Amino acid sequence: MAILVGRETRVIVQGLTGRAATFHVGRMLDYGTRVVGGVTPGKGGSRHLDLPVFDTVAQAVQETGANASLVFVPPDRAADAMIEAIRAGIPLLVCVTERVPLLDMVRVRQALDGSATRLIGPNSQGVLAPKVAQLGVMSTASAARGSVGIVSRSASLTSEIVAQVTRAGLGQSTTVGIGGDPVHGLTLAECVELFVEDDDTQGIILVGEIGGSDEEQAAETIARLRPKKPIVALVAGRHAPKLRRMGHAGAFTTERAGSAAQKIDALKAAGVQIAPNARQVGEMMRDALSSSRH
């Protein structure tokens, strides 16, 4: 069993006919993901990748029974695409678009309030449940079905950690890239809680980075839940200079908040094992799972 996605997930793709979507949706189809259609305003009634194209999300949902949407829409129009999906009642919404304007994301968060939609992203690699479904741009090359849940703010580190977990003989239940933007949907804390409740996830890896307060909120959730499952965390950016944006809008440390040290201290206090560097995450999880079984 995976979190967020399953074999019953039926996906539509907003912006299906664009170049990036064409490439990555082709990969998703090859992987076995149930992509049932796409949405490109003005191209309704056509077909792309042998999939039906609709003018609106509401039409696509009505015709295909879709219960998930993947947004491949340029940054200046991504918020409107997300809001359209939210209003259409899509349960799972994944946005891979980078550089969505901050104030646009405030509008999206307002639309999410009271809705039935769970948003992942923007600036997300997506969700990967090995041998079940892939939504987004995440590499599947090193993925293997297993018992470790991975949630990450960092795209590049996600691929490295997935490969380590596979080499350790553990595999992944689900890997979730929540994105690194300062205003986003699913949080580290919410994802950790989903993994704690998932019977097929035996260990959890949390990949954080400087900026924001996601890691501190995750620490609070872990301290409250006191899960028996081992949790290993890596926090990137220990040596990043303050008041300088590193990579993207979310990776920004101020004088008062967002530093790697603050995040590490909070996670340690909640009982999380902290990986000293990126090379040891998979090995630490293997050892932690071994210890928990004895």
Walk me through the domains of the chain, giving residue ranges and CATH numbers.
11-120 (3.40.50.720), 141-292 (3.40.50.261)
- SS3 of the chain: helix, strand, coil, percent, to 5: 35, 20, 45
70 strand-pairing partners: 13, 94
- pLDDT for position 292: 80
| DSSP structure class, residue 39 | E
Structural tokens at position 225:
């839940």
Of these residues, 24, 184, 248, 294, which one is catalytic? Answer: 248
Structural tokens at position 56:
């609106």
The stretch 265-289 carries a mean pLDDT of 96
**Residue 22 carries which side chain, given as an amino acid letter?**
T
Radius of gyration over every alpha carbon of the chain, rounded to an integer in angstroms? 19
232 strand-pairing partners: 205, 273
User: Mean pLDDT of all residues in the chain?
Assistant: 93
12 strand-pairing partners: 37, 69
The stretch 110-128 carries a mean pLDDT of 97
134-149 residue pLDDT tens: 999 999 999 999 999 9
Structural tokens at position 58:
């509401």
Distance CA 272, CA 220 (A): 11
Distance CA 64, CA 45 (A): 13
pLDDT, greater one: 210 or 104: 104
Distance of CA 134 to the CA centre of its chain: 11
Distance CA 53, CA 49 (A): 10
**Residue 61 carries which side chain, given as an amino acid letter?**
V
Half-sphere exposure of 145 (CA within 13 A, CB side): 7
Q: What is the percent of the chain where pLDDT is above 70?
A: 93
Alpha helix (H) ranges present in 89-172? 102-112, 155-167
The stretch 148-154 carries a mean pLDDT of 96
205-252 residue pLDDT tens: 999 998 889 999 999 999 999 999 999 999 987 766 665 555 554 544
The answer to whether residue 187 scores a pLDDT higher than 60 is yes
Integer CA distances (angstroms), 225 to 2, 5, 77, 176, 192, in order: 20, 23, 39, 20, 10
Structural tokens at position 143:
């993925």
248 is catalytic: yes
**Residue 71 carries which side chain, given as an amino acid letter?**
V
Whole-model pTM?
A: 0.93
The answer to whether residue 114 scores a pLDDT higher than 60 is yes
- pLDDT for position 252: 47
